[in-house]
Amino acid sequence: MTLSESQIKVDDWIKKYGVRYFSELTNMAILTEEVGELARIISRTYGDQSFKESDLKKNISDELADILWVVICIANQTGVDLEDAFLKNIEKKTTRDSTRHIENNKLQDNP
């Protein structure tokens, strides 16, 4: 599924089941909440914290999908074509950072 198709699918779902989009401000708060839930799982999976019983039901793929959903909602509400924006962003990064990371000694393997 392309990003454009994803935007259409989310919009169709909202119109059929969601009544309307939440406000942009509410969706920004929801996005922040979802990113926090992902951070919690990652910190417990790859960091030093142990899992709480309530964390065991959550998984990274579901949290990433929740984040993507809200990002798509915000894009739809604000008239952003995510596919076009993402392609332009890759181009910007490629132009700006074409040698930046390759030349970064911190990223090189240390023997």
What is the number of domains present in the chain?
1
Residue 103 within any structural domain of the chain = no
Instruction: Tell me if 105 is assigned to some domain.
Output: no
Residue 109 belongs to some domain of the structure: no
Reading phi first (left if > 0) and then psi (alpha if -120 to 50, else beta), residue 109 is in: beta
Q: Is 104 within the bounds of a domain? A: no
Alpha-carbon torsion, ordered 35, 36, 40, 45, to 10 deg: 10
Q: What is the pTM of this model?
A: 0.88
For 51-88, write each residue's pLDDT tens digit: 888 777 889 999 999 999 999 999 999 999 999 999 99
